[in-house]
């Protein structure tokens, strides 16, 4: 029986000009557009691990949005030896509160903000597209929350 490994990911987002934008990063090896993801270190909760990956890979800080993951996806991870392992990724939505000019993996990755409507076309991992579709269902609520938050911050 094959052991399915677990990882976490974040979909960093913000609202600009009444549109939801998500932050994508390139993978280190293939340079494909992906979302920040990685392993859960000992002592981390899935939520704190997702925030840590977003910081390390994309240079953003923020808070997990909602009480539950936005969804899951599966993929086959290829090792340096050429083996593959099945991975199940738990994905959290992350409201971005800070964008850094320098971050741990800046030299290894590019980052790009994309309108939610364009994100699924940029990400080549087909199992991620349904997560953007789910996020699109929440877009009006996220925009309303951002407007509410901004009015209280003034």
Q: How far apart are CA 136 and CA 12, in angstroms?
A: 14
Helices within the chain (DSSP H only):
46-53, 116-122, 129-137, 139-153
> Of 47, 56, 110, 125, which residue is the catalytic one?
56
Closest by CA to 70, choosing from 54, 51, 90, is: 90
Q: What is the DSSP letter of 86?
A: E
Active-site residue flag, 154 = no
Is residue 39 within 8 Å of residue 121, measured between CB atoms?
Answer: no
Q: Which residues contact 62 (CB under 8 A, 6 or more apart)?
A: 12, 51, 54, 94, 95, 96, 97, 98
Q: What is the DSSP letter of 80?
A: T
Is residue 37 within 8 Å of residue 55, measured between CB atoms?
Answer: no
- The set of catalytic residues is 56
């Amino acid at each position: 029986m094959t052991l399915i490994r677990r990882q976490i990911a974040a979909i960093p987002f913000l609202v600009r000009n009444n549109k939801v934008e998500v932050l994508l990063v390139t993978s280190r090896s293939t340079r494909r557009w992906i979302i920040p993801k990685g392993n859960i270190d000992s002592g981390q909760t899935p939520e704190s691990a997702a925030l840590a990956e977003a910081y390390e890979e994309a240079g953003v800080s923020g808070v997990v949005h909602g009480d539950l993951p936005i969804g899951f996806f599966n993929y086959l991870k290829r090792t340096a030896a050429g083996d593959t392992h099945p991975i199940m990724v738990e994905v959290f939505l992350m409201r971005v509160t800070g964008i850094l000019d320098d971050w741990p993996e800046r030299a290894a990755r590019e980052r790009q903000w994309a309108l939610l409507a364009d994100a699924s076309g940029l990400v080549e991992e087909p199992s991620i597209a349904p997560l953007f579709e789910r996020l699109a269902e929440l877009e009006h609520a996220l925009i309303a929350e951002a407007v509410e938050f901004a009015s209280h911050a003034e």
